[in-house]
Amino acid sequence: NTGALWGGRFASGPSPELQALSRSTHFDWRLTPYDLAGSRAHANALLSAGLLTSDDHASLVSGLDALGERYAAGDLHPDPSDEDVHGALERLLIAEVGQEVGGRLRAGRSRNDQVATLFKMYLRDHAHTVAMLLLDLVSAIADQARGHLDVVMPGRTHLQHAQPVLLSHHLLAHAWALVRDLERLRDWDRRVAADSPYGSGALAGSSLGLDPTAVARELGFDGSTPNSIDGTASRDFVAELAFVAAQIGVDLSRLAEEVILWSTKEFGFVTLHDSWSTGSSIMPQKKNPDIAELARGKAGRLIGNLTGLLATLKALPLAYNRDLQEDKEPVFDSVDTLELLLPAMTGLVATLTFDNARLAALAPQGFSLATDIAEWLVREGVPFRVAHELAGACVRRCEELGCDLPELSDAEYASISPLLTSGVRSVLSVEGSVASRNGRGGTAPDRVREQLAELSDRLAGH
């Protein structure tokens, strides 16, 4: 016997090449605390089913506790001969409590139902951590928005000046996307919590009269899986979390890209805090937005983790196949990446200093008040098609004269159309423009204040 979990029917041990390929302890060792919790719950189920004496049960539980303490102390390690975390922990448990008692724990369970359950538990904890970090970032964005309610900026479409907006309004647009990500994490958790796979065995369930529901409850699930094949073979919970992680990455990359643009000389919208930016080894003047660039770059990695995982799952026949061992590294990497990235993004955002005067000065440029002229004409009873034409003619006249819309004289306006009376001046200011967009979801200061309150309400549940 080679000491592996399945030596009985083999005359010779695994080749070193097979062992090297098969080994997963370098990435699944992090499941140790969850494996131990699963084993404890399973020992309780065996006790309840009359398959363990209370002495054996007590000895197993104290052995599992001892392993847990050693793990926490950084003093528990897999051996190169261990195939995976489950086999390693069985070997280590037997070393603690002896072959006779330690060998009883595997009854009625398989690594297939174990790993599916532990993986869910691990991901639930880390999805929760990611959600808390996301919440910090949303709060940092909301704080910046609250602090800049009186600042106007050029709103853009196609990256061209479009219409003036409040800086707060623009910042909050990023916050809402992240709030939906937060809600996706919560929805995901609700679905994952429903089904613990423990008790599914290899694929067909158990003949030993164990109670999967009790195990499920002990491990923090609402219930156990209704189908042992699905319980051991499905990994949509992994792909779904990898998607949410990728979407978070994409949302962060859009915020990051703006910080990168805004901190250029040409934009000059923001200055980065020294502690949240980097220098150059050769150019002494440089201050680089590395956090934002890494956020942009890591979005690619998060997308790759999702697509790699989906490719692994595609067309896999039921039930468990060893391919499924490839499910862990991508999503472990995704949560690790977000756990590193989110606090850095939060610090970056919280310490941005905006050049309010420059933002305000640029806001009306590029004829961004032309829509206001058209809408003013509509309020005066002019059909929008005509109003659009006339406002366009104003822009053309400005281009000829090399000036901006507020600088056109009353006479110039009148010569474009008698409809363009001096009343039009009431909308030819950025403040007037922004204040006039006061429908729900608009950029008027009162609406943005309302939006901030709505955001706080949405966050209260998290």
Contacting residues toward ligand ARG, per CB under 6 A: 24, 28, 84, 111-112, 115, 320, 322, 324-325
What is the smallest separation between the CB atom of 324 and ligand ARG, expressed in angstroms?
5
Cβ burial of 386 (10 Å; 0-12, 13-18, 19+) is middle
70: Cα separation from own chain's centroid: 32
Task: Locate all alpha helices (DSSP H) within 352-438, ordered by sequence.
Answer: 356-362, 370-379, 384-401, 410-416, 430-436
219/429 Cα distance (integer angstroms)? 61
What is the smallest separation between the CB atom of 126 and ligand ARG, expressed in angstroms?
17
Answer for the pair 34, 122: CB distance below 8 angstroms, yes or no.
Answer: yes
Name which of 28 and 258 has its Cβ closer to ligand ARG: 28
Q: Break the chain down into helix, strand, coil percent, rounded to 5.
A: 65, 5, 30
16/371 Cα distance (integer angstroms)? 72
What is the smallest separation between the CB atom of 32 and ligand ARG, expressed in angstroms?
13
Name which of 90 and 181 has its Cβ closer to ligand ARG: 90
What is the smallest separation between the CB atom of 45 and ligand ARG, expressed in angstroms?
20
243/313 Cα distance (integer angstroms)? 14
Name which of 111 and 174 has its Cβ closer to ligand ARG: 111
Nearest alpha-carbon partner for 125 in 219, 213, 45, 61? 219
What is the smallest separation between the CB atom of 320 and ligand ARG, expressed in angstroms?
6
Instruction: Reply yes or no on whether 158 is catalytic.
Output: yes
Name the maximum alpha-carbon separation found in the chain: 102
Name which of 114 and 253 has its Cβ closer to ligand ARG: 114
State the number of CA atoms in the 13 A half-sphere of 208 facing the CB: 23
Catalytic residue of the set 12, 15, 54, 158: 158
Cβ burial of 285 (10 Å; 0-12, 13-18, 19+) is exposed
Report CA-CA distances (Å) from 300 to 250, 252, 272, 308: 8, 11, 24, 12
153: phi then psi, degrees, rounded to nearest 5: -150, 165
Name which of 320 and 354 has its Cβ closer to ligand ARG: 320
Catalytic residue of the set 22, 280, 415, 456: 280
Strand partners, 166: 152
Name which of 112 and 163 has its Cβ closer to ligand ARG: 112
What is the smallest separation between the CB atom of 166 and ligand ARG, expressed in angstroms?
50
Angle between helices 370-379 and 384-401 (to 10 degrees): 140
Preceding amide of 295 cis, omega within 30:
no
Name which of 26 and 322 has its Cβ closer to ligand ARG: 322
What is the smallest separation between the CB atom of 322 and ligand ARG, expressed in angstroms?
6
Token pair for 43:
């020992």
Catalytic residues: 158, 280
